[in-house]
Amino acid sequence: MSSYDCVAPISWDVLHQRILPSWCAVLEGNIDCIDFCEEFIPNYREEFLDPERYSWKKLPKGYLKNIDWKMGSILNANQIRNSDSHLELEKLGIADFGTYLIQYACKSTACAIRGDKQKTDVYFAESFYGYWDETDFQVAGTKSYYEFLKTVFHVEWNPDKHVLIHKAKENVPLELIQLLGNLFLGLRSFPGVRVIEGNWQWPSYDDNLIQGYLTPKEVKDLLPFLEFVTNSSELDDETFPMFVDRAHKASIIGLGLITFHAGL
């Protein structure tokens, strides 16, 4: 199946001071999901909040304590994979819907990065790669997969799970391996959202997923290592220059990056 995916610049302050606190208040039962939607998702559809469909009244108690996470910290995806409370959210259908909600909250609070997009951005005319459809903010998009990852990883198709499994190649800087893993390959997550089955994986189905993210500092750390990809004889990916452009511009104004599978 095909998916339209993107890496989007994101304000770390908005994410950790507004979006995630409000979403965690939903997970803890302190506010209704409709309150979250009214704040972050214009024109939301009320049927999505049907309690019979998503069992909001059956939220597991002590979810954040069970996943051992504190606001403002990085959430290792294994913390929710190993959580009984998170498994319950998945059974209720809330983890899938939470992914959708966080994605759209990030869209509605997106930051425009540097440059007049219609005059100076060479990606403005692309059919879907360069911009989020609803907010028209700059992203680094692709269809189904970021091929430049193959310059850093050996990639193996798992037909049973419909995922691409990544193993680092020799002689690749360890920092580059870790940073790309954190951004693309399911190592990081947020509370209450769906997570891919294992680390170092990319999905080959079209479900919405948050595949990872980098802090503003990590975006700056990543930039020098992208030269390794640029110089690789294996590089054959028209989306890579756009990814570099978005990462560079995000670093200038102190934004993080987040990867949405099926996020365009």
pLDDT tens, residue by residue, 63-113:
999 999 998 899 999 999 999 999 999 998 889 989 999 998 998 888 877
Q: Which two tokens stand for residue 85?
A: 């409370």
pLDDT tens, residue by residue, 137-186:
888 888 889 999 999 999 999 999 999 999 999 999 999 999 999 999 99
Q: Is the pLDDT of residue 1 over 70?
A: no
- For residues 147 and 229, the answer to whether their CB atoms sit within 8 Å is no
Residue position matching structure tokens 């950790």: 16
- 1, 2, 3, 263: which is closest to 133 by C-alpha? 263
The domain ranges of the chain are 1-264
Q: How many percent of the chain have pLDDT more than 70? A: 87
Strands of the chain, DSSP E: 4-10, 75-76, 140-143, 153-158, 163-168, 188-189, 201-203, 209-214, 256-261
pLDDT tens, residue by residue, 204-218:
998 999 999 999 999
Q: Is the pLDDT of residue 226 over 80?
A: yes
The DSSP element (H or E) to which 87 belongs, if any, is helix 84-92
Packed helices 94-108 and 33-40: angle between N→C axes, nearest 10 degrees: 30
- For residues 139 and 246, the answer to whether their CB atoms sit within 8 Å is yes
pLDDT for 74 = 96
pLDDT band at 122 (very low <50, low <70, confident <90, very high): low
pLDDT tens, residue by residue, 54-75:
566 678 889 999 999 998 899 9
Collapse the DSSP code of 71 into the 3-class scheme (helix H, G, I; strand E, B; otherwise coil) and give the result.
coil
Residue 164 burial (CB count, 10 A): 20
pLDDT for 34 = 83
- For residues 191 and 20, the answer to whether their CB atoms sit within 8 Å is yes
Largest CA distance in the chain: 54
